Structure 1
Amino acid sequence: MSSNMKKIKLISVFVITLIFSGCLKDNPVEIMRDMTDSAEMLVYFETNGDYINSNKMPSFVKASEVFSNLNNYIILDIRPKEKFLDGHIPGSKNVEMKNLMEIVDQMKDSTQKIVIVSSTGQAAAYATSLLRLAGYDKIYSLQWGIASWNSKFAKEWYRMVKNGFLVGRYNFQNYPKPDYSELPEVELGKGLTSELIKFRVKKLLEEGFEKVRIDIDDIMKTYNQQSNTLDYFVICYAPTRLYNIRDNGHPPTTVRYQPYEDLKSTTYLQTLPVNKPIAVYEDTGEISAYVVAYLKVLGYDVYSINLGANGMFGEDQSNSSRIIRLKSTDIMNYPVETGE
């Protein structure tokens, strides 16, 4: 057995042992002195609720729920200031993503829930996932973003729907998962794992969502017709319904990973490559943003495909029920405030 496989099996066995024995401390990995920093975080996450693989993910809240219970929510709008001034949810506060952790920390004793709002829901999903991973459990993202609050904002979402570059090169081939490999190399330093994760999350929030958002056209521009390959490892994080969607299929070499199952240490997490960039998609770009946040914390070079399948072949599927999209019934037309 290779040394890589031994390490993978060791981490998996260790996680299973901790879960079933109940021997869980804030820093459980002290038992394994040679564990890498990325493995240390992985064990910590999986023995502390395994958020990304749990039924708490995605932590969506609908516009109707927020509107009906405004007093129960603190609304943080992370859109650029000019967009906020042009219109926002009454009572919401405009903040920059880079300051989110500090702001949320100040509200940790509040009984109210915090909902993060962005234009299409993708940036809010990314921020919410990061904060959840850092231990803030009262954070939610507004599903569909502010596009679901009022038709005034839905236009931005619909403008992004398109057929991507070289969509005709997609296929229906079922590509296998790669061989297992090492986890990414991450330098955490010394201290409690939970505190080191918070420090890493803060840094990713400061870098922002735009650093991990990618357009399908930029991926398909790397297409090599001779070898039928891409420079990116593309993941369809969705059921087969989307992977082999009629009339389109998926980009060349795309591999499907089953949601809530295939990104565990005990399954296929370590089939993700560390030697090439990864791009994740599902229907709308929101759940992929949640997943990308998790993989970024673990150290992977990973990106979320803008608007998911809607930004890849949304025009072809505009009249079908095979793809999840923002519908007119999702847009509530609730009151909007302008200015500060």
Structure 2
Amino acid sequence: MKKINLIVVALLCVPVFLLSSCDRGDDINPENPILKPAFEVMTDYMMDNDLDLTNILSGPGGEVKFVSGAPAAADLDAFLNKYSILDIRSLEAFNTSHIEGAKQVAFADILKEADAASKQVLVVCYTGQTACYAASLLRMAGHSNAQALKWGMSGWNTETAGSWYKNTGDEANGHTNWAAHNAPDALTFEDPVFDIYSTDGAEILRQRVEAVIEAGFKTAKGTDVLNSPDNYFINNYFSDTDYGNFGHINDAYRVKEELKLDGGGYKGLDSDPNAKVITYCYTGQTSAVITAWLQVLGYDAYSMTFGMNGIYHSNPAWGPNQWGVGSSVPKELPLIKN
């Protein structure tokens, strides 16, 4: 009797084993979609629907970048008529001052609010960073033209620019973990794994986007990364020239041009679920877009807040992405005050 029971238990466990092994990535038959890992099913769908990172950053065909700068005063009316503006700052900050026609929404509700919007979505925050994270997620959820307000409310008016002015810094100047050597050789890692049992790429993607929204914006302070680089797998999102001219956090990898599904360049990032993958750029806005995309893919990904501006704002190699220069100078556009 005991032997029969053992046989029954073993037979009952077979389908469970097959399902769980598929999701772990044990792809027994790549030609049978039922046996593909959820990651592969989702990323196949993303590739087929122009959701590789290059399209998230620039829009299908490179037509709509993920950010839109504050308009010139003469273009304000056209700007306001173009967008459904979702302001994800606190209710207190919104009530103090906001853009005409904007709607205050919680970050957790951005997908629901975007689905209900009647016009192209523009997400607004304090500095542009959380809004870029949100815009990236919205683009993966089907709002391909969703944008973030570049520099956030800091670029709209001096009165709302405090967040950027308070968070530039120069700790990297002379720091022992600030380096100028060549980038380390690229590494190759396995695909991330997550526990979703579905053969529908669109459904898997929607679940992943919703989960990332629920978890909130994943960030780390630049000073923490600079002081303890060994706690992270660091990805420097500079050009090759800027990697040398600006300098970089010690032993930061440079996964930029190849960071996409097409060609497998994303495999240059550590997929271990215990590895904190942190990306940094010049302003923290592009890295926010990348981090949201990586989070959806299953990486334990973080964006370094304020980017290069936060740790080496006075670096003499600066170009147009320096806070307080060019497009980042507040436009002194009108504010609505409740």
Q: TM-score range by the shorter chain?
A: 0.7 to 0.9
Residue 311, structure 1, aligned to residue 318, structure 2: no
CA distance in 2, matches of 1:37, 1:310: 38
2:189 aligned partner: 181
Residue 253, structure 1, aligned to residue 259, structure 2: no
Q: 1:201 to 1:159 in 2, by over 3 A?
A: same
Matches within 5 A, 1:126-145: 126-145=133-152
Residue 79, structure 1, aligned to residue 78, structure 2: no
RMSD: 2.4
Consecutive unaligned residues of structure 1, counting only runs of 5 or more, are 1-7, 11-28, 224-229
- The one of 321, 328, 336 equivalent to 1:324 is 321
Deviations 1:47-75 (A, max 9, x none): 21134113327411121077241122111
CA distance in 1, matches of 2:193, 2:157: 44
| Residue pair 1:167, 1:251 contacting (<8 A) in 2 also | no
2:245 is aligned with what amino acid? I
**Aligned-pair CA distance for 1:175:** 2.9
Q: What SS class does the counterpart of residue 141 from structure 1 fall into?
A: strand
| Residue pair 2:157, 2:334 contacting (<8 A) in 1 also | yes
Which has the higher mean CA deviation after the structures are superposed, 166-175 or 329-338? 166-175
Q: What SS class does the counterpart of residue 89 from structure 1 fall into?
A: coil
Q: What SS class does the counterpart of residue 133 from structure 2 fall into?
A: helix
| Residue pair 1:62, 1:142 contacting (<8 A) in 2 also | yes
2:36 aligned partner: 35
The number of residue pairs the alignment matches comes to 297
Which has the higher mean CA deviation after the structures are superposed, 96-105 or 180-189? 180-189
1:67 is aligned with what amino acid? L
**Which structure: greater helix fraction?**
2
Deviations 1:143-164 (A, max 9, x none): 1111111111122112110123
**Aligned-pair CA distance for 1:118:** 0.5
CA distance in 1, matches of 2:310, 2:53: 24
CA distance in 1, matches of 2:157, 2:105: 20
- The one of 201, 218, 243 equivalent to 1:193 is 201
Residue 59, structure 1, aligned to residue 55, structure 2: no
Deviations 1:121-148 (A, max 9, x none): 0000000001101111231111111111
1:282 aligned partner: 281
Matches within 5 A, 1:1-340: 31-54=32-55, 55-56=58-59, 58-64=65-71, 67-69=76-78, 70-107=80-117, 110=118, 112-164=119-171, 167-190=175-198, 192-209=200-217, 212-223=218-229, 230-246=230-246, 249-259=247-257, 261-275=258-272, 276-314=275-313, 316-317=314-315, 321-322=318-319, 324-327=321-324, 329-330=326-327, 331-339=330-338
Q: What SS class does the counterpart of residue 309 from structure 1 fall into?
A: helix
Sequence identity (%): 27
Decide which structure has the larger Cα Rg and report it: 2
